[in-house]
């Protein structure tokens, strides 16, 4: 049986763990050749070995490294059909009056600059045949929360970038959409965020996660990395050929 992404090539950033790894693995299951980009060499190589992909060590905030990533993709496969901008950092959990601007700038460098750089260098390859860009925003990109202004600002920015780019590249058959996950269980990023917020409230991480994210959702469900990967598969596939400039909540109805 043919896979939903047979013959396609994808670059997935932050693919060495968490949501990015889940997306890379599902894409490979569906017939896609995946370039596994991550700034952790061991993580990238582990995932790439498992799925028969290509590992490229990349810091998405560094334009030279991003350019090298897409050059490697072109040299290996001669095309690019899908870009998943998943790489991200949690940023600080701190009041704005105590903001460390160096940490704030680092959050923006990865979560915003990195998205723009990857799109910038992907578009030339995608113009050859069209494609799909999928940006990972967040529920925090739709509604701000206390102590999280850097992360919220970065994820709001991702939605703005998504909507703008969709209009720029649509004439070339390139779609651009965003996913806004809720709190996804078992990812390093949410572990940091939930841990920081739990400590700020004097609660355990498990208690905080369950009360804040699970029991407050319509489905009373923990969101797993596979849930986000399935959404990324839909947006990358021809089934979503008429969808662009959108952001899709995957939050169990929270």
Nearest to 247 by CA among 233, 236, 238, 235: 235
Active-site residue list: 151
Q: Which domains does the chain have, with CATH numbers?
A: 9-182+224-250 (3.40.50.720)
Residue 77: band (very low, low, confident or very high) from pLDDT cuts 50, 70, 90: very high
The pLDDT, as a whole number, for residue 194 is 66
The pLDDT, as a whole number, for residue 202 is 75
Residue 37 corresponds to which tokens in the numbers above?
């980009």
Q: pLDDT (tens digit, 9 = 90+) per residue, 89-147?
A: 999 999 999 999 999 999 999 999 999 999 999 999 999 999 999 999 999 999 999 99
Q: Which residues contact 218 (CB under 8 A, 6 or more apart)?
A: 252, 253, 254
Q: Report helix angle 114-126 to 63-77, nearest 10.
A: 30
The pLDDT, as a whole number, for residue 200 is 73
Asked if 130 and 172 count as a contact pair (C-beta separation under 8 A), the reply is yes
Residue 221: band (very low, low, confident or very high) from pLDDT cuts 50, 70, 90: confident
| pLDDT: which is higher, 249 or 188 | 249
Q: pLDDT (tens digit, 9 = 90+) per residue, 55-75?
A: 999 999 999 999 999 999 999
């Amino acid at each position: 049986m043919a896979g939903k992404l047979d013959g396609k090539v994808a670059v997935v950033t932050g693919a060495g763990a968490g949501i990015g790894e889940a997306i890379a693995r599902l894409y490979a299951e569906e017939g896609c050749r995946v370039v596994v980009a991550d700034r952790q060499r061991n993580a990238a190589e582990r995932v790439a070995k498992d799925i028969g992909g290509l590992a490229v060590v990349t810091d998405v905030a560094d334009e030279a490294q991003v350019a090298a990533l897409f050059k490697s993709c072109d040299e290996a496969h001669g095309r690019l059909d899908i870009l998943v901008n998943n790489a991200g950092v949690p940023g600080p959990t701190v009041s704005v009056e105590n903001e460390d601007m160096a940490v704030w700038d680092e959050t923006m460098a990865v979560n915003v600059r990195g998205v723009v750089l990857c799109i910038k260098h992907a578009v030339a390859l995608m113009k050859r045949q069209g494609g799909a860009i999928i940006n990972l925003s967040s529920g925090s990109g739709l509604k701000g929360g206390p102590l999280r202004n850097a992360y919220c600002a970065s994820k709001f920015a991702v939605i703005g970038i998504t909507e703008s780019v969709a209009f720029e590249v649509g004439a070339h058959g390139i779609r651009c959409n965003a996913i806004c996950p809720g709190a996804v269980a078992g990812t390093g990023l949410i572990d940091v965020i939930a841990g920081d917020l739990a400590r700020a409230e004097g609660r355990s991480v498990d208690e905080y996660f369950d009360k804040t994210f699970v029991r407050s959702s319509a489905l009373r469900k923990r969101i797993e990395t596979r849930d986000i990967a399935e959404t990324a598969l839909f947006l990358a596939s021809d089934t979503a050929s008429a969808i662009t400039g959108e952001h899709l909540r995957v939050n169990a109805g929270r």
